[in-house]
Amino acid sequence: MISGIFNYPDSIKGDTIASQSIRFSTKDSNGDKTPIDLTNKTIRCHFTYQNKKVKLEEGSGITIIDAADGRFRIDSFTLPCAGVWVYDVEMSDDNTNEVYTYLRGSIKIINDVTL
């Protein structure tokens, strides 16, 4: 499986990064999308830059909107320093312990002028 890519728009250090609603789905042989049921799944999103890490998880930065329809939200957040951060969104199956990365990308944080 190849993960999707979403690069956030550039942001200023200390500014709030807007929430993003996401729907996990698969395509069948006809190209039709079928939602991935998030029941008994755990969603995690980690942003990293050099030795810094920001972890978003269900109940702490990630909100399930509709598990059966594969929809969740990465809630608004901030990143602590300027640089190009990379991230991914993983889903693990609570029953089988299988882990899949469905989404990845980056965000550039620019130093602010006003301190």
Res 114: pLDDT: 79
Q: Cβ atoms within 10 A of the Cβ of 62, count?
A: 20
Can you name the CATH fold of 4-110? Immunoglobulin-like (2.60.40)
Q: Which of 65, 53, 45, 56 is nearest to 105 (CA)?
A: 45
Res 100: pLDDT: 93
Res 92: pLDDT: 95
Q: What tens-digit pLDDT sequence spans the chain (115 residues)?
A: 678 999 999 999 999 999 999 999 988 888 889 999 999 999 999 999 999 999 999 999 999 999 999 999 999 999 999 999 999 999 999 999 999 999 999 999 999 887 6
- Domain residue ranges of the chain, discontinuous segments joined by +: 4-110
Residues 6+ apart with CB under 8 A from 114: none
